Amino acid sequence: MPTEPVLDGQRPTRADYEAATRERWISAGAEITTMLLQGADEEDVLEHIVNVAMEIGSADTAALILPGLQGELTAEIVHGNGAGNLLGLVMPREGMSWNALRTGEGHLVDSLAAKPDLHTEALRAYGPALYAPMGTAEQPVGVLLLMRSVGGHVFDAADLRRAQSFAKQAALALVLADARQAQAQARLVEERERIARDLHDLAIQQLFATGMQLEVVRRRAGRGLDKAGLIAIVDEALTSVDSSVREIRSVVRSLRDPDAASGVVERLRRESSLARTGLGFAPSLLITLDGRSVGDDAEDEELFDSVIVGALADDVVAVVREGLANAARHAQASSVSARISLSTQGGGVTVEVEDDGIGLGNVSGRKSGTWNLAARARQHAGESVVRDAPSGHGTLLHWHAPVTLDPAQGAPSPRP
């Protein structure tokens, strides 16, 4: 009598096979999550779900049945035997797909071909079937349908359990991906509002003021008066046009590249723009590199961004934020200026936030804000003071950190 070649303990047992299948379902589920986290296209993920389910479930045909626009359930993605006949099939309300979706419970059919009360004739071409709902009864996503040919091995309870938990995990990943997309959408709307505000408050106001200056020039020129005065006004208008161009350029940059990790200069501009709400007016922001105003020259901005990076960049931004917040909360000021200057000749980076408000008065004891500023300075062997402004009115926050420049960074050329 022929016997199977058995080496005791080496032939895979039924239990080994089950364990391996379970393992495969679990890692397939994890893979779906990873795909979605990495930002894969949802359509690709759905295709992938159907493919792996068909393979691991040893099915001849697999279909993903999803709710359509009119609330109907349609076989949206079908792979395997007879896929063409099933694609686009609308599932009847009283059928098994709907039942699985409504209840959140899957079920097995020994043979669709032999099922007396089958509602969908196209399914009669198949034998054993497994319906696994994706999602829960409260948050249904769809139904995963696995089928084998007529006469094929029937699916068992363990198959159902595993396919079902895979389908649930895939559904959860899809729901989370949707939520993330909605969040990204909300951020986009917020970002647009900020851009509109920036354009209105900074660029448009400035252009409006320039228009008025030119109006004055025209009136005076019409009367043939005061050549020197006219030149002065025109000069002023030109400066103001330059600065409008800069504002608009920075808004455009943030439009073009909203997701790119921003350089510190861009982050400071945002900080200043955001502070407007608390202050009730726009603070003035001056960022300088070796005394030159950054923004006049793209290379200066690049150099600034390449020197102030990492923890130092975070600290500089945080110091400006705290200074502006203090001015908004305590100063009752009518103007505030934030100045950030970087000296590449060993001077380091200095942040000053100055307001023309009521001044410090007799503040007793340090509070967390000033304490944090000092701590941030100490980390870079720097210093931080908050004191009365030298003008006699208001408060000056002075924060400084030495910066050791990489010799290669002295010039704005990248290191080899």
CB of 72 to Mg ion, least distance (A): 58
Partner whose footprint covers residue 247, from ligand ADP, Mg ion, none (CB < 5 to 8 Å by kind) = none
CB of 328 to ligand ADP, least distance (A): 9
Does residue 326 bind Mg ion (CB under 5 A)?
yes
Token reading at 200? 């209105």
Residues 267, 273, 279, 284, CA torsion sign:
positive
Partner whose footprint covers residue 331, from ligand ADP, Mg ion, none (CB < 5 to 8 Å by kind) = ligand ADP
Partner whose footprint covers residue 370, from ligand ADP, Mg ion, none (CB < 5 to 8 Å by kind) = ligand ADP
CB of 325 to Mg ion, least distance (A): 6
Q: For ligand ADP, which is the closer residue by CB, 32 or 319?
A: 319
Does residue 369 bind Mg ion (CB under 5 A)?
yes
CB of 378 to Mg ion, least distance (A): 18
Q: Which amino acid is at 158?
A: A
Among candidate residues 356, 340, 353, 346, the one with its CA nearest the CA of residue 385: 353
Does residue 360 bind Mg ion (CB under 5 A)?
no
Terminal Cα-to-Cα distance of the chain (whole angstroms): 75
Partner whose footprint covers residue 272, from Mg ion, ligand ADP, none (CB < 5 to 8 Å by kind) = none
Give the 3-state secondary structure of residue 382: coil
CB of 324 to Mg ion, least distance (A): 10
Partner whose footprint covers residue 395, from ligand ADP, Mg ion, none (CB < 5 to 8 Å by kind) = ligand ADP
| Residues 391, 380: Cα–Cα separation, whole Å | 29
| Residues 68, 90: Cα–Cα separation, whole Å | 9
Partner whose footprint covers residue 252, from Mg ion, ligand ADP, none (CB < 5 to 8 Å by kind) = none
290: left (phi over 0), alpha (psi -120 to 50) or beta: left
C-beta separation of 36 from 26 below 8 A: no
Span of 14-22, 259-267, 368-376, 403-411 interacting with Mg ion by CB under 5 A? 368-376
Partner whose footprint covers residue 340, from Mg ion, ligand ADP, none (CB < 5 to 8 Å by kind) = none
Q: For Mg ion, which is the closer residue by CB, 109 or 373?
A: 373
Among candidate residues 338, 350, 369, the one with its CA nearest the CA of residue 274: 338
CA geometry: angle 73, 71, 132, nearest 5 deg: 35
Give the 3-state secondary structure of residue 141: strand
User: DSSP letter at 144?
Assistant: E
Q: For ligand ADP, which is the closer residue by CB, 104 or 369?
A: 369
| Residues 213, 216: Cα–Cα separation, whole Å | 5
| Residues 277, 68: Cα–Cα separation, whole Å | 44
CB of 348 to ligand ADP, least distance (A): 23
CB of 361 to Mg ion, least distance (A): 15
CB of 377 to Mg ion, least distance (A): 15
- Judged by the rule CB under 6 A, the positions of this chain that interact with ligand ADP are 326-327, 329-331, 355, 357-358, 360, 363, 367-370, 386, 395
Q: Which residue's C-beta sits nearest to ligand ADP?
A: 369
Distances (CA, A) of 314 to 28, 193, 251, 267, 308: 40, 25, 22, 9, 9
CA geometry: angle 194, 199, 203, nearest 5 deg: 145
Q: For ligand ADP, which is the closer residue by CB, 95 or 283?
A: 283
CB of 340 to ligand ADP, least distance (A): 17
CB of 369 to Mg ion, least distance (A): 3
**Ordered DSSP codes for 5-62:** ---TTTSPPHHHHHHHHHHHHHHHHHHHHHHHHTT--HHHHHHHHHHHHHHHTT-SEE
Q: For ligand ADP, which is the closer residue by CB, 109 or 331?
A: 331
Q: For ligand ADP, which is the closer residue by CB, 174 or 338?
A: 338
Q: For ligand ADP, which is the closer residue by CB, 146 or 319?
A: 319
Kindly give the interhelix angle for 264-279 and 227-256, rounded to the nearest 10 degrees: 110
Token reading at 234? 């025109």
| Residues 243, 245: Cα–Cα separation, whole Å | 5
Q: For ligand ADP, which is the closer residue by CB, 307 or 351?
A: 351
Backbone angles phi, psi at 318, to 5 degrees: -65, -35
Span of 143-151, 172-180, 326-334, 403-411 interacting with Mg ion by CB under 5 A? 326-334
Partner whose footprint covers residue 70, from ligand ADP, Mg ion, none (CB < 5 to 8 Å by kind) = none
Partner whose footprint covers residue 61, from Mg ion, ligand ADP, none (CB < 5 to 8 Å by kind) = none
Q: Which residues bind Mg ion (CB under 5 A)?
A: 326, 369
